[in-house]
Homo-oligomer: A and B are copies of this chain.
Amino acid sequence: MDFTVPPRVAQLLPEIRRFVEERIQPLEQRISEEWGALAPELEEVRAEVRRRGWWAPFLSRDHGGMGLTLAEFAFISEELGRTPLGHYSFHCQAPDVGNMEILAEFGTEDQKRTWLAPLAAGKIRSCFSMTEPARAGSNPAWMDATARLEGDQWVIDGRKWFTTAADGARLAIVMAVTDPQQPSVYARASQILVPTDTAGFAYRNVRVPASNLLGERGAGFAIAQARLGPGRIHHCMRWIGICQRAFDLMCDRAARRELSPGKPLGLQGTVQGWVAQSRAEIDAARLLVLHAAWRIDQEGPFAARDDISAIKFLVAQTLDRVLDRAIQTHGALGLTDATPLAWWYRHERAARIYDGPDEVHQASLARRLLAAHGLPRKRTSE
């Protein structure tokens, strides 16, 4: 048992911390503005990241990344999570990160050349299109969108929403039912690559070449699982970074804001309770994430699926509480864009919802744990 920071990243961390503080955090206050307004500065930052050899830390060296293990990347991701612009700056933002992973793993050589190469180089953006308005996101097997093969084309029909980052994406990876006659609901859907400039995008009678199938036909769920498991830990690593920054902001404010002359906020027992509780909760959640990353590296995502479920909701809860305390410590200022706290408060409420609501992860984790104690495996209304 050894809690030392992995040597490959240990020396990088202070450099990256400084870079994030000096080059990225100054842009934060403009995050509520139009994205376009920030783009030029961000592209400069990204160019500098690439020059320093920090580009796409999670991606294999073959595709132009740093080729870190998940446990190594966890430490970098924590630093990047300290600002809402960090992951984009280092080119490891969702959903591109997950899409690159599945293209690398399941894509044909041609698909890799056409899509992975420009994605990895940061020349285009992508999205992942699974959720449908009439169907619960927590039950991915229940899906209306269909794709049928007509000649050498997939013809896709359906309605999707909550497609993160769809605006500006050049590529959509779309889940659709291709084999409705399959007995198992988990073998009915496929993933298909759809350029967003295809006629009918929005998914009425969209036609793409048959060769745009990603992986095997009917393997849509298997690939989605391969994507979502590690995807969840990517979110968790980023949330730990948010927690760390929120904690620092809370401490700064508590140490400096005076309630009356010479009486800083941080002398109050209630605030001290928030500080101590947050420190302990962040540290515990962080170790749980590092342990899950280490286990995925050692034994693969399937062996670590209980660990992944656990961090998904525990870190989301921790994030919720730490942000709340940091905002309360700032008072009305915490609701302005003077800090990134309000932005996170608005945008990261989704942490407890996306990739499956926390309650769904809790139920599936519990059923696996209880099965080991003899609970019948049959499906429940939950």
Q: Which of A291, A309, A369 has the most CB of B within 10 A?
A: A369
Question: Are A4 and B3 in contact, CB atoms less than 8 angstroms apart?
Answer: no
Shortest distance from the beta carbon of A120 to any chain B beta carbon, whole Å = 27
Question: Are A332 and B279 in contact, CB atoms less than 8 angstroms apart?
Answer: no
Bitwise interface map of A from 341 to 378 toward B, beta carbon under 8 Å scored 1, else 0:
00001100110111001110111011101101111100
Question: Are A138 and B345 in contact, CB atoms less than 8 angstroms apart?
Answer: no
CB contact list, A1-54 vs B, under 8 A: 1-6
A56 within 8 A of B: no
In the assembled complex, the Cα of A283 lies from the Cα of B287 at a distance in Å of 9
In the assembled complex, the Cα of A312 lies from the Cα of B317 at a distance in Å of 21
A152 within 8 A of B: no
Shortest distance from the beta carbon of A191 to any chain B beta carbon, whole Å = 21
Residues of chain B contacted by A359 (CB below 8 angstroms): 268-270, 273, 328
Shortest distance from the beta carbon of A131 to any chain B beta carbon, whole Å = 7
Question: Are B4 and A280 in contact, CB atoms less than 8 angstroms apart?
Answer: no
Shortest distance from the beta carbon of A8 to any chain B beta carbon, whole Å = 11
A284 within 8 A of B: yes
Residues of chain B contacted by A374 (CB below 8 angstroms): 252, 255-256
CB-nearest residue of chain B relative to A289? B284
A81 within 8 A of B: no
Shortest distance from the beta carbon of A9 to any chain B beta carbon, whole Å = 10
A314 within 8 A of B: yes
CB-nearest residue of chain B relative to A259? B136
21 example contacts (A-B, Cβ-Cβ < 8 A) are as follows A136-B331, A139-B259, A142-B260, A251-B369, A254-B370, A267-B382, A269-B271, A269-B359, A269-B382, A272-B363, A272-B366, A272-B382, A276-B361, A276-B362, A276-B366, A276-B369, A280-B310, A280-B313, A280-B365, A284-B287, A328-B353
Binding site for B on A (CB under 8 A): 1-6, 71, 131, 136-139, 142, 162, 248, 251-252, 254-261, 263-273, 275-277, 279-281, 283-285, 287-288, 290-291, 294-295, 306-307, 309-311, 313-314, 327-328, 331-332, 334-335, 345-346, 349-350, 352-354, 357-359, 361-363, 365-367, 369-370, 372-376, 380-382
